């Protein structure tokens, strides 16, 4: 059912893209936008060798991690720059008040900032084809009385100034005259969530994709009700002037929709966070605080070829960091190794935490290296983890089915929709390795990805706290300054 649903959504998106492309092309021809006497905007960008993009700091848009710039919008914009053969220059802003003027003034060529396409914004800007859709959720702190509609709101509602949330609340006010809220230009959506947790405010409105990411770190954030049903997200360009850049964006989004690039990027950032389990998330965060410190040195010691946080995430999925863990299937220890695998990795006692982590790290590294070189990262890691769970043979069976159905066997987002087919006789009877509970490796990998993201976030948070905390005063210094 998931595959059929995806295909229907994809076909609808393809139809929208074609209609939009045709509309833009006709509009350009009728308006005489192709200039012969002076260079159009796209030609100037290509001649300059760089394109300047405005965005917002945030987990969905643009941020700097240990490996450099990251974020959904950043990666999508970077691929567009590569599509044009130019260099990408990012101009980030801290809020929408600073972002929009940069497009109006020409400081940036377009905005890639997770912007919802709303009637008010359509009056100000042109938009490229939509690449995603989001809904808007009213959220509150777990444990407080849940508001199920606007009439249940009792307390202060604060939203980000100039956001699409304001526009939708203004529409709701026509139906609910008593509805009131405050607009804040200093706090972004993530900071407003922290204000809710600190009980400084009662409610805020947040986009569904931003909420999905942040609930892994703040599970006490609960959903009251939906303020606005799904609306499209798109890149914004200037309303006036030639449309050469917009035409190029129409072509680009047609390509990334068709070749699976957008699907893979969406899976990278959001594919594993669509489901949320409050109890599991709270239990994991508690384990990070109370159990992980004991074993972190071992994960860091043997996480030489793979990120120690990924190794720790795998171990939590396997044993919840219990060195004495046992399963009825015969696997044991921190990494739940089988006896044959333990012997191959030189592990004498699977119940010894250090031996188990060392053996698990060695085995997973071997699985990653066993994956074909043509498979890109991080897909290669997800394939290796699926193989760790279900076996290399069954994984290859699913990749073959993917290719037979016209999918890309080197993309995790494509293969994970076919792995569950290994439970159906009409598929597995034609495979080399036969029946497998193919849904289990999918859940296995997606759980690890969520744990890994959370561990990365906590690790970065700890580093920032260490950098910003005041250095302890030495006894010598203290004695000199009574």
Tens of pLDDT, residue by residue over 386-439, are 999 999 999 999 999 999 999 999 999 999 999 999 999 999 999 999 999 999
318 among known catalytic residues: yes
pLDDT number for residue 378: 92
Which 3-state string (H, E, C) describes the chain? Answer: CHHHHHHHHHHHHHHHHHHHHHHHHHHHHHHCCCCCCCCCHHHHHHHHCEEEEEEEEECCCEEEECCEEECHHHHHHHHHHHHHCCEEEEEEECCHHHHHHHHHCCCCCEEEEEEECCHHHHHHEEECCCCEEEEEEEEEECCCCCCCCHHHCCCCEEEECCCHHHHHHHHHHHHCCCCCCEEECCCCHHHHHHHHHCCCCCEEEEEHHHHHHHCCCCCCEEEEEEEEEEEEEEEEEECCCCCHHHHHHHHHHHHHHHCCHHHHHHHHHHCCCCCCCHHHHHHHHHHHHHCHHHHHHHHHHHCCCCCHHHHHHHHHHHHCCCCCCECCCCCECCCCECHHHHHHCCCCCCCCHHHHHHHHHHHHHHHHHHCCCCCCCCHHHHHHHHHHHHCHHHHHHHHHHHHHCCCCCCCHHHHCCCHHHHHCHHHHCCCCCCCCCCHHHHHHHHHHHHHHHHHHHHHHHHHHHHHHCCCCCCHHHHHHCC
Q: Boundaries of CATH 3.40.190.10 in the chain?
A: 2-132+232-270, 134-231
pLDDT number for residue 60: 86
In which region does residue 49 sit, left (phi positive, over 0), alpha (psi from -120 to 50) or beta (all else)?
left
Class of domain 134-231: alpha beta
pLDDT number for residue 470: 65
- For the chain, the distance separating the N- and C-terminal CA atoms, rounded to the nearest angstrom, is 73
pLDDT number for residue 59: 84
Q: Which two tokens stand for residue 443?
A: 């859940």
Q: Is-contact 254 266, C-beta < 8 A?
A: no
| pTM value surpassing 0.75 | yes
Burial annotation 79-94 (CB, 10 A radius, 16+ → b, else e): bbbeebebebebbbbe
- The Cα–Cα gap between 233 and 210 comes to 13
Class of domain 2-132+232-270: alpha beta
- Tokens 């066993």 appear where? 370
Query: One of 44, 178, 289, 318 is an active-site residue; which one?
Result: 318
pLDDT number for residue 473: 47
Q: Is-contact 448 424, C-beta < 8 A?
A: no
Tens of pLDDT, residue by residue over 164-213, are 999 999 999 999 999 999 999 999 888 999 999 999 999 999 999 999 98
User: Which parts of the chain register pLDDT below 50?
Assistant: 1-11, 13-14, 17-18, 20-36, 473-482
Class of domain 278-460: mainly alpha
Tell me the average pLDDT of the chain. 88
> 241 burial class (0-12, 13-18, 19+ CB within 10 angstroms)?
middle
């Amino acid at each position: 059912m998931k595959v059929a649903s995806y295909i229907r959504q994809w076909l609808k998106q393809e139809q929208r893209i074609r209609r939009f492309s045709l509309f833009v092309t006709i509009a350009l021809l009728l308006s005489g936008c192709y200039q012969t006497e002076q260079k159009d905007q796209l030609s100037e960008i290509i001649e300059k060798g760089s394109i300047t993009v405005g965005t917002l700091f945030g987990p969905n848009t643009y941020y700097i991690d240990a490996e450099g710039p990251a974020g959904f919008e950043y990666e999508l914009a970077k691929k567009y720059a590569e599509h044009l053969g130019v260099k990408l220059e990012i101009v980030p802003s801290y809020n929408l008040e600073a972002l929009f003027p940069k497009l109006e003034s020409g400081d940036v060529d377009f905005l890639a900032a997770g912007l919802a396409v709303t009637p008010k914004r359509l009056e100000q800007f042109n938009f490229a084809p939509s690449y995603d859709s989001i809904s808007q959720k009213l959220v509150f702190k777990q444990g407080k009385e849940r508001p199920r509609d606007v009439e249940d709101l009792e307390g202060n509602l604060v939203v980000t100034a100039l956001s699409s949330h304001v526009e939708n609340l203004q529409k709701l006010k026509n139906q609910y005259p008593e509805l009131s809220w405050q607009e804040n230009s200093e706090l972004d959506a993530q900071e407003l969530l922290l204000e809710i947790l600190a009980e400084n405010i009662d409610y805020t409105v947040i986009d569904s994709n931003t909420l999905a990411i942040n609930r892994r770190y703040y599970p006490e954030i609960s959903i009251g009700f939906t303020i606005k049903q799904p609306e499209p997200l798109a890149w914004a360009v200037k309303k006036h002037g030639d449309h050469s850049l917009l035409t190029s964006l129409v072509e680009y989004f047609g390509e990334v929709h068709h070749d699976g690039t957008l699907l893979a990027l969406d899976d990278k950032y959001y594919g594993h966070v669509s489901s949320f389990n409050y109890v599991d998330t709270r239990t994991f965060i508690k384990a990070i605080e109370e159990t992980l410190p004991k074993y972190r040195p071992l994960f860091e010691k043997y996480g030489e070829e793979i990120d120690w946080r990924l190794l720790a995430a795998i171990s939590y999925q396997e044993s919840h960091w219990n060195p004495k863990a046992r399963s009825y299937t015969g696997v044991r220890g921190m990494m739940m190794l089988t006896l044959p695998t333990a012997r191959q990795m030189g592990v004498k006692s699977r119940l010894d935490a250090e031996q188990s982590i060392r053996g698990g790290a060695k085995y997973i590294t071997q699985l990653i290296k066993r994956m074909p070189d043509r498979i890109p990262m991080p897909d290669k890691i997800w394939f290796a983890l699926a193989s760790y769970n279900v076996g290399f043979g069954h994984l290859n069976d699913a990749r073959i089915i993917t290719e037979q159905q016209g999918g890309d066997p080197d993309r995790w987002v494509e293969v994970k929709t076919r792995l569950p087919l290994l439970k159906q006789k009409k598929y597995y009877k034609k495979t080399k390795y036969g029946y497998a509970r193919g849904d289990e490796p999918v859940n296995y990998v997606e759980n690890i990805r969520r744990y890994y993201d959370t561990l990365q976030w906590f690790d970065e948070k700890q580093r920032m706290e260490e950098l910003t905390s005041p250095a302890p005063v030495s006894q010598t210094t203290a004695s000199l300054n009574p």
